[in-house]
């Protein structure tokens, strides 16, 4: 009985930790820094991103991300991107995709959030907001 209870507790803890993950790093090249709160976390292929993480790429840095809903986001060199809010809970009909590109370039391809709740997708840039009318776009912010 104690073993079953212990296993159950571990599974619950793992699901709580996993629920914070919003994206997977699919590809990485060059210098990429991942800021999580006050910490710098190594950005590596297969690593995960959390809500509020900030991605900063160097002169030759590139990173490719795949979000839980299937959204694909590539961030180019000399870029700074912040994941402001992300929520993908289709069973509860709760969605949010909110990122800010402070500088640099990004290519975006919408996933399920863009199809199920397009009004919940926000991609902000330093000089305005990108209005998403399709499923793909490329943007540059100075």
The 10s digit of each residue's pLDDT in 13-49 is: 433 344 589 999 999 999 999 999 999 988 999 999 9
State the pLDDT at residue 19: 52
Average pLDDT over residues 122-129: 78
Q: Backbone phi, then psi, for 44, in 5-degree steps?
A: -140, 150
State the pLDDT at residue 141: 78
Q: How confident is the model at residue 134 (pLDDT cuts 50, 70, 90)?
A: low
State the pLDDT at residue 136: 73
Q: How many CB atoms lie within 10 A of CB 127?
A: 7
Beta bridge mates, 68? none
Q: How confident is the model at residue 129 (pLDDT cuts 50, 70, 90)?
A: low
State the pLDDT at residue 126: 79
Long-range contacts of 16-21 (CB under 8 A, 24+ apart): 20/50, 20/51, 21/48, 21/49, 21/50, 21/68
What is the pTM (predicted TM-score) of this model? Answer: 0.80
- Contacts for 135 with CB less than 8 Å, ≥ 6 apart: 109, 110, 114, 115
pLDDT tens across 48-61, in order?
999 999 999 999 99
Q: Backbone phi, then psi, for 87, in 5-degree steps?
A: -150, 125
More confident residue, 29 or 133: 29
């Amino acid at each position: 009985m104690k073993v079953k209870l212990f296993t159950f507790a571990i599974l619950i803890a793992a699901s709580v930790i996993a629920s914070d993950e919003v994206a997977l790093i699919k590809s990485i090249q060059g210098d990429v820094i991942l800021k999580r709160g006050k910490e710098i976390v190594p950005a590596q292929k297969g690593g995960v991103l959390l809500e509020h993480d900030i991605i900063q790429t160097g002169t030759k840095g590139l990173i490719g991300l795949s979000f839980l809903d299937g959204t694909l986001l590539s961030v180019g060199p000399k870029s700074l991107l912040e994941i402001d809010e992300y929520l993908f809970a289709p069973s509860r009909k709760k969605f949010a995709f909110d990122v800010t590109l402070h500088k640099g370039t990004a290519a975006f391809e919408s996933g399920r959030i863009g199809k199920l709740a397009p009004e919940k997708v926000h991609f902000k840039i330093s000089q305005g907001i990108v209005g998403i009318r399709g499923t793909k776009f490329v943007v540059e912010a100075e």
